[in-house]
Amino acid sequence: MRKHFILITYVMLMLFAYSCRQSTEDEWEALKLPQITLIDITEHPEIGVIVKGRVVGDKSIHGYGVCWGNHPNLTLLDNKMLETSHLDDGEFEFVLTTLNDHTHYYISVFAQNEEGTAFSDAHRILTLSAPGIPPVVFLDSMTFDSPESFDAHWNMYYPWGIEHNGSARMYDSQVELLEEGVLRIKADVIDWWEGTSGHDPWLTIRYHAGAIHYKQHITVTDEFPEWEISGDFQVPTVIGTWPAFWITGVENWPPESDIMEFKGDNINWQNTVTGPNWTATYWQNELRAVANAGGWHNYKVIIRKVSDTDTELDYYIDNVKTATHYADFVDKPFFG
């Protein structure tokens, strides 16, 4: 309002006021913290983690650098590299060579002037495994190539028996090895009385179906901090069917991770279940419609250790990420 009033009444006064204001703004600009941006983070197996940043207002800057740690609220007390030379164009680059393999880090760039230190937002990365160390493959479709290979890796039924919490009872005859590493599990409706399930809610048995589980356990540990669990499936979507691909706790329930689960329609459920016991559970759910679910689709979860107790679970359908969940799954063995 004052500027408009000066413009209307006194031109000379306006020029004087504008001159003073410009000087004040220049002084204020000089007192502000630098504007700092993290441009890019890339990892080269033979070089290290390359961090690029950009700073604006470099005339007043006397230092810039990069810091990293295992938490997002980074300060100069964390690991850092500091440079005090002049910036020609405001962009800079650091190479981190001391990070541990296959470890989560938060990384931020910073710049300093007389007013203090400005930090960019911290970005989270997972460093690569050591060069030349291939992943350990525990299972693949070759385990379905022959009865001998199947028997060496898989057990029939659920880990606890032939029934679960649905209306189906498991039979060997419902599981069949086809050609080219394909396993078929089928369900058939029965029209005779066969009792009820032995598991809550004790439903009447109306189907003969099949189930298999991996002979070994899946456990996120320091030795194996990341697991990729995936499979290609064709699933039925008619009412009454309940195809699922999941891992569940060996010692108790929860924990559980549902990678593929359809409940009589074309909606896939990807769930993560945590909690102290079965009476107090916390569910994270991601529901996605799958076009032509009866065709081949890939369903996957990648479970990574992010702390002494917690994991990050990234879910995918056809290699497109659908959700990220978090759970206290470290050192907890799973049936798969």
**CATH number where 76 lies:** 2.60.40.10
Share of the chain above pLDDT 90, in %: 69
**pLDDT category, 273, cuts 50, 70, 90?**
very high
Tally of structural domains, the chain: 2
3-class secondary structure per residue, the chain:
CHHHHHHHHCHHHHHHHHHHHHHHHHHHHHHCCCEEEEEEEEEECCCEEEEEEEEECHHHCCEEEEEEECCCCCCCCCEEEEECCCCCCCEEEEEECCCCCCCEEEEEEEEEECCEEEECCCEEEECCCCCCCCCCCCCCHHHHCCHHHHHHHEEECECCECECCCCEEECHHHEEECCCCCEEECCEECCCCCCECCCCCCCECCEEECCEEECCCECECCCCCEEEEEEEECCCCCCCCCCEEEEEECCCCCCEEEEEEECCCCEEEEEEEEEEECCEEEEEEEEEECCCCCCCEEEEEEEEECCCCCEEEEEEECCEEEEEEEECCECCCEEC
Q: Give pLDDT tens digits for 132-164.
A: 567 889 999 899 999 999 999 999 999 999 999
Token duo for residue 71: 């938490």
Choosing from 29, 226, 228, 261, the catalytic residue is 261
- Based on the domain organization, do 121 and 74 belong to the same domain? yes
Is 46 labeled as catalytic in the residue annotation?
no
Is 261 labeled as catalytic in the residue annotation?
yes
Q: 1: burial class by Cβ within 10 Å (0-12, 13-18, 19+)?
A: exposed
Checking if the pLDDT of 31 tops 80, the result is no
The pLDDT score that the predictor gives to residue 253 is 96
In a domain, 73, yes or no: yes
Q: What value does the CA radius of gyration of the chain take, rounded to a whole number of Å?
A: 29
Checking if the pLDDT of 54 tops 60, the result is yes
Q: What is the mean pLDDT of the chain?
A: 87
Choosing from 25, 176, 256, 286, the catalytic residue is 256
The pLDDT score that the predictor gives to residue 88 is 62
Query: Where among 126, 156, 185 does a domain terminate?
Result: 126
**CATH number where 285 lies:** 2.60.120.200
> What is the value of pTM for the model shown?
0.66
Query: Where among 126, 160, 180 does a domain terminate?
Result: 126
- Based on the domain organization, do 122 and 145 belong to the same domain? no
In a domain, 240, yes or no: yes
**pLDDT category, 203, cuts 50, 70, 90?**
very high
- Based on the domain organization, do 179 and 275 belong to the same domain? yes
Checking if the pLDDT of 6 tops 80, the result is no
Place of tokens 């540990």: 221
In a domain, 6, yes or no: no
- Based on the domain organization, do 42 and 147 belong to the same domain? no
In a domain, 184, yes or no: yes
- Based on the domain organization, do 120 and 194 belong to the same domain? no
Among 22-31, 199-208, 234-243, 275-284, which is the least confidently predicted range?
A: 22-31
In a domain, 26, yes or no: no
- Based on the domain organization, do 121 and 145 belong to the same domain? no
The pLDDT score that the predictor gives to residue 86 is 72
In a domain, 114, yes or no: yes
- Based on the domain organization, do 290 and 153 belong to the same domain? yes
- Based on the domain organization, do 201 and 298 belong to the same domain? yes
Q: Give pLDDT tens digits for 286-305.
A: 999 999 999 999 999 999 99
Checking if the pLDDT of 104 tops 90, the result is no
The pLDDT score that the predictor gives to residue 32 is 80
50, 98, 152 from 75: Cα distances, Å: 20, 18, 52
- CB within 8 Å of 93: residues ≥ 6 apart: 50, 51, 52, 53
Query: Where among 96, 126, 156 does a domain terminate?
Result: 126
Q: What is the mean pLDDT of residues 213-236?
A: 95
- Based on the domain organization, do 84 and 161 belong to the same domain? no
Among 110-124, 190-204, 257-271, 277-291, which is the least confidently predicted range?
A: 110-124
Checking if the pLDDT of 179 tops 70, the result is yes
- Based on the domain organization, do 58 and 100 belong to the same domain? yes
Place of tokens 């028996």: 161
Q: At what angle do helices 2-9 and 11-31 cross, to 10 degrees?
A: 150
In a domain, 257, yes or no: yes
- Based on the domain organization, do 121 and 157 belong to the same domain? no
In a domain, 17, yes or no: no
Q: What is the mean pLDDT of residues 228-254?
A: 96
Residue 79 lies in domain? 35-126
- Based on the domain organization, do 171 and 68 belong to the same domain? no
Most confident stretch, 38-47, 68-77, 276-285: 276-285
